[in-house]
Structure 1
């Protein structure tokens, strides 16, 4: 007999408002992705589901622009993919150079240290990017086995140029890891052409899927380093040896490793299909055009973009400085109350200094840009009128 009663909260239907998610993520699901989430479950070893896994792998190879065999989706959010990169590639004592210009470099440093790596940092303020010369200087000084860069730094709104970084790493015998959670599909990225050894992203940004299945890929050089490990990775769940087999990447009969998030993989397959139908180049162009429309509108309102140089602005997430005397949170709450639109604050170094506006995947449309600009202007005007009336 049960010793406690059922919670009253669970005895009524779930209710929540529809919101337009124009923050740094997640983005809203497209109707097609939402419908895919509701498809009947299959067993995680059924041949029909294995076929879906194979199609997801092909889709990841396409959006990453890679031919890497070891390409799959981690069962977890983007943080799980980040952790998988750390725990598989790094061994205790390995020197890793982290290019830190925002929250995600800080986060990767923490994860690498927890895996026993010797973490060296080259740091720049949020809103800045690194040049190949700066990275080469730091690599020469520290002699790392691995270098980490964030392609789309959503806390500071920067798009890190990557062309030439792989050449630097090859010249010094180290591997290049890149975080593309906020950028994949929204800005050009070429894993093989640019010499990236480990690349990962999330499903909830440009792919407009629910978080929970995160694409990742490893080069042949990264595979060689992992094969030469002295000890197994600390995580069984994220062990790439097991996952490579489960995803059919090693040419051997598949073995059960874990129960995949089946509905998430349905959704990811559909999100990849939508992007493939649009085409990568057209998707990149759409995000750039929407970002430019947003930037022009913000500047017309007299607001200041956080990232100075247009070529270094991340198309998918735009930080804009909060004007003096304005409470960023009050404006965000006004926009949510009156428009049901999410407008996020800063993160880490940019906390309380900026709003962050996300235009990703299904949400990256000119209509949403115009709605956001109208809502933001109204919110700022409302906040200013309250300040003036209190004087």
Structure 2
């Protein structure tokens, strides 16, 4: 059988990830391959670490990507610090809290959970009270929960964890690069990001950072290095159990990303190029400017959705700026709407999981997908599809409401410049 040349359809991707990739990132991926010990390549690695520290807003020594999609970053940090029997507290307010539980259990942790209804977040005082009750070694929590469109306030929890001697590990896959995440100021010990969301890089890497508190544990579990491995060699200096995963062993990855340059596995060269360019573009735009852009287009989308006659799902006071969740109206087939958006307009939006399956739509405004033309196109197409599905839309109101946001922003900018 003869296969034709690959020809993927062009989509307007407005899901909570993956999102559209900036063309400059795609161009960077076509850069010629270098060897993984070539000084030109290790210089690029050093630049990636430096840029990650800036995006993560940290002075941590260690900030580098794990090869694999976002879940690999969660697993790398957790498996490297969890020893069998360790207590881990996981506050759950959506699907990805359950994922953290599963990872921790697989590495032998004694997992304690607390839950709140999907669409809400925890009062920091409630999490702190549970930490004091459980006395865990680790608290692992999601920052931006894409399944519900909610964002957990983190600073008070981080300060309490530091005061109580508890390690705080945060899944910021959905929020990094799209909204403020202050690793050092919030006392986060280990943080996981993702390439395929607000960084607008293809799926395939999980940038992480961690501090000396986590490094101390990792180093204490590091295997003794000898020329030929034996059963005796598989012990470590401290007598603590070695890290259970080879691929995700941060002590071994440190040896490659650090000055020793000891090979662990073949690096994903083209993805490093992509990540470097994606980070460069984030820093070129500026963190505050980038966050403001995400908020602007989120506001235009939200105002358009409400003007259309739809209602938003979730706690508006703790909304994740780059994910908007919408209640599916009674009598409307949510999957039929999604299918028509994709087939007739080339727009992809998402459904949700678990208790929210079939109850909400989720629209992502992330990274390169977070643009004015995308917002207006989605609102116009969404209105057309809902009309075809029998929903009584407030015709024409959605685009006007979004344009009011954009025009108002322009007028304010002109006024501010005129006053200088």
Cα distance, 1:259 vs. partner? 0.5
Alignment of 1:197-212 (within 5 A): 197-212=189-204
**Paired residue for 2:73, among 69, 73, 81?**
81
Alignment of 1:1-391 (within 5 A): 8=1, 11-229=3-221, 230-248=240-258, 252-309=259-316, 311-384=317-390
Deviations 1:181-221 (A, max 9, x none): 11101111100011000001110111111111210011111
Cα distance, 1:225 vs. partner? 2.5
What is the rounded CA distance, in whole Å, between the counterparts of 2:132 and 2:8 in structure 1?
54
What is the rounded CA distance, in whole Å, between the counterparts of 1:262 and 1:48 in structure 2?
12
Question: Contact 1:102–1:349 (CA<8 Å) still a contact in 2?
Answer: no
Stretches of structure 1 lacking an aligned partner (at least 5 in a row): 1-7, 387-391
Deviations 1:254-313 (A, max 9, x none): 11111011101100000000000000000011001111111111111111111232x311
SS in 2 for 1:349: helix
Deviations 1:73-127 (A, max 9, x none): 1011101001112110111100000010001100010010000000000101111
Question: Contact 2:30–2:270 (CA<8 Å) still a contact in 1?
Answer: yes
Deviations 1:44-85 (A, max 9, x none): 111111111111111111111001111111011101001112
What is the rounded CA distance, in whole Å, between the counterparts of 1:379 and 1:140 in structure 2?
51
Question: Contact 1:319–1:346 (CA<8 Å) still a contact in 2?
Answer: no
What is the rounded CA distance, in whole Å, between the counterparts of 2:34 and 2:355 in structure 1?
44
Cα distance, 1:385 vs. partner? 7.0
What is the rounded CA distance, in whole Å, between the counterparts of 2:355 and 2:290 in structure 1?
30
Cα distance, 1:130 vs. partner? 1.4
Cα distance, 1:37 vs. partner? 1.0
Tell me how many residue pairs correspond in the alignment: 374
Question: How does the TM-score come out when normalised to structure 1?
Answer: 0.93
What is the rounded CA distance, in whole Å, between the counterparts of 1:179 and 1:171 in structure 2?
21
Question: Contact 2:77–2:250 (CA<8 Å) still a contact in 1?
Answer: no
Cα distance, 1:172 vs. partner? 1.9
Question: How does the TM-score come out when normalised to structure 2?
Answer: 0.87
Question: Contact 2:33–2:270 (CA<8 Å) still a contact in 1?
Answer: yes
